[in-house]
Structure 1
Amino acid sequence: MSRTLRLCIAVIGNIASVSLYAAPITTFKRVIRKKSTEEFSCIPYIIGLLNCLLFTWYGLPVVSKKWENFPLVTVNGVGIVLELSYVIIYFCYASTKGKAKVAMVAIPVLVVFCITAIVSAFAFHDNAHRKQLVGSIGLVVSVTMYASPLIVMKKVIQTKSVEFMPLPLSLCTFLATTLWLTYGVLIRDIFVAGPSVIGIPLSILQLVLHCKYRKRSVVEEPNKENLEKSNLEKVELEKLNLEMEDVEKNVTIHKNGNL
């Protein structure tokens, strides 16, 4: 029964995590459409890529005992593909300064992963110590990944707009962290459960901000439309007045000519 429960939670957790990794697709459709990264930050996606790399490595038999952590491999393998795609798209449409920022963050991230993988594979000769090394680094990176939206949340509070903090991303974060915390507790693995201890409250905070500022955005949007409509009406009225003045001038000139 316990094994079946773990498997069910792992499967649902995989679905939730894939949804979490796939949530920014709408954001990057916008980036491609507008050919601009606007105010979006690349840092969460680069940290997410490192997180997926580390936990895929953690779940492989090189680090874990056989395939005991196979669910981590499947979900983070998909995450690697998606996060890498986001970073590449961001790099393509970023400004020159933005491209430099991506390189400055992404290169050290890849170096950290390579060093971790090499050291864990060759410096240690048992699974317990390998898991401890990779899991500890993965735990720190995961906490950083879940904390990275704090930058966006600060912007949301300053601008009173949730435009750059998509709701699907926040919902998927809450669901995924809750499920992985449960799964980590069931298998008694602190490196799997640990990140969610930070991720759950932060995802709840994101949802609270959505509830608070989304209504304001909805209220402000019609006002913006009304303002644009009012400006358009003013322009048309000014054109009409100018036309009337021209007609009056022509009539006056015509009368004077007849006289």
Structure 2
Amino acid sequence: MANFSFILGIIGNVISILMFAAPIKTFKRIMKKKSTEDFKGIPYITTLLSTCLWTFYGLLKPGGLLVVTVNGSGAILHIIYVTLFLIYAPEPLKIQSMKLVAIIDIAFLGAVIAITLVAVHGTTRLTLVGFLCAALNIGMYAAPLAATRTVIKMKSVEYMPFFLSFFQFLNGGVWTAYAVLVKDYFIGVPNGIGFILGAAQLILYFMYYKSSPTKSTEEKGSAHLMKREIQMKDVNGAHENENSRNLHKWKSLPKPSLVRQYSEKLVKTLSNTPSSLGSHNVHDIEKGLKEAH
């Protein structure tokens, strides 16, 4: 039984490290776009606190080597994640996240370690830290649920990474089985809850996965809109050119009012001025002008 629990612990270590490494893809995207977009910082801040406390718990617990190795690795990775999030977050979110890091990951963690080592003695240390770790582990598993509101609102799983939810589901299941074998309820209870929450996240993911726009669909849509816009510009440009030509042609024609004024003046002048043309010629001029109209 002891050998089987050790094997489960090794499997749990591998799955936990894969779970802790799952956000690497997310942070590659953040670094590429130089923006945290709609990603939430809470999961990484709370997980950093959880992994640090579990490392401390493993150091206090006899035979807690497997707990130390996996959570120590997770703590290092989450220090990197939180740092990158603070670098690329917009100013209001950056200030809010820095306050959370200062309160949760520095002040609270430091206070717990100091009080445990100075004011608490014997097995009470392990019990106190165990309760805190269990509560924070539940918070770590529940933290990605903060993205579910965005998922339901946008009907898209773009901002809820699949592998993070998937490995949380596996991690919770394996560590629950390990805890049952070694009779450690501080590990078993939070991981059992994490197993259930991970399953809920996966169900939500598959509910909205098909309705999420893929990259190729977005690119095709953008290209179609651009092509349509160019075609509309060409059509509008052709109409504008045709209209401008017609307008210019119309402007180049003599205005009827001016022709009429000059014709009336010319007829009046010819009729009042004696000349060798005679009345017959004047009548011919009037007739020609009327035809010109």
* Residue 46 to residue 220, structure 1, CA distance change in 2 (3 Å): closer
Deviation at 1:244, TM superposition (A): 4.6
Q: Distance in 2 between matches of 1:157 and 1:225?
A: 23
Task: Choose the corresponding residue for 1:236, options 211, 216, 230.
Answer: 230
TM-score (norm 1): 0.88
Task: Choose the corresponding residue for 1:210, options 205, 209, 212.
Answer: 205
SS of the residue corresponding to residue 162 of structure 1 reads coil
> CA offsets per residue over residues 181-221 of structure 1, 9 Å max, x none?
01111110111111112111111011101111001115897
Deviation at 1:251, TM superposition (A): 11
Rg (Cα) greater in structure: 2
Q: Distance in 1 between matches of 2:111 and 2:214?
A: 51
Supply the RMSD in Å over aligned alpha carbons.
Answer: 2.4
TM-score (norm 2): 0.78
Task: Choose the corresponding residue for 1:161, options 132, 156, 159.
Answer: 156
What is the number of equivalent residue pairs in this alignment?
Answer: 249
* Residue 33 to residue 237, structure 1, CA distance change in 2 (3 Å): same
Q: Please list, as runs of the form range in 1=range in 2, the aligned pairs for 1:216-231 lying within 5 A after superposition.
A: 216-218=211-213, 222=217, 224-225=218-219, 227-231=221-225
Code of the aligned partner of 2:80: S
The answer on 1:64 being equivalent to 2:58 is no
Moved more, 236-245 or 14-23: 236-245
SS of the residue corresponding to residue 216 of structure 1 reads coil
Q: Percent identity?
A: 33
Q: Distance in 2 between matches of 1:32 and 1:249?
A: 51
Q: Specify the alignment match of 1:21 in structure 2.
A: 20
Q: Give ranges in structure 2 of 5+ residues lacking alignment.
A: 253-293
Q: Specify the alignment match of 1:95 in structure 2.
A: 90
Q: Distance in 2 between matches of 1:26 and 1:144?
A: 23
| Larger RCO: 1 or 2 (CA < 8 Å, sep 6+) | 1
> CA offsets per residue over residues 4-36 of structure 1, 9 Å max, x none?
101111111001000111100111111111111
Q: Distance in 1 between matches of 2:42 and 2:200?
A: 20
Q: Give ranges in structure 1 of 5+ residues lacking alignment.
A: none
